[in-house]
Amino acid sequence: CSASANKPVLTLFTKKPCPLCDEAKEVLEPYKRRFILQEVDITLPENSAWYDKYKYDIPVFHLNGKFLMKHRVDIQKFEDQLRKLELQRE
């Protein structure tokens, strides 16, 4: 069974350097077995649309393609949304 195929995808919109992004990843560390982290570097040319949208807001998180939070990790919100997705899968 490929459990990882069903895991929610948490997209982190980031750029280098991003101390807030590093901090956010540390906060999410205890949950990392429950989701797949996908990082999008908004400074890359192919991500210019995201750059225009989020250049003043990173880190920005999307969960399964939907906007979730920005600037800081809201653990309560993250847990609630993650739990919702996990319940949908069962």
Break the chain into its structural domains and give their ranges: 9-88
- Rounded distance, CA 90 to CA 77, Å? 20
34-49 pLDDT tens trace: 999 999 999 999 999 9
CATH classification (class only), 9-88:
alpha beta
Which are the contacts of 2, defined by CB distance < 8 A and separation ≥ 6? none
The CA-based angle 26-4-88, given to 5 degrees, is 95
pTM of the model: 0.91
DSSP 89: H
Q: How far apart, in whole angstroms, are the C-alpha atoms of residue 51 and residue 82?
A: 26
Question: pLDDT value at position 1?
Answer: 47
Q: Is 50 helix (H, G, I), strand (E, B) or coil?
A: helix
Residue 41, Cβ density class (10 Å: 0-12 exposed, 13-18 middle, ≥19 buried): middle
Decide if 12 contacts 39 (C-beta within 8 A): yes
pLDDT at position 61: 98
Between 1 and 76, name the one with better pLDDT.
76
Model pLDDT for residues 15-37, shown as the tens digit of each residue: 999 999 999 999 999 999 999 99
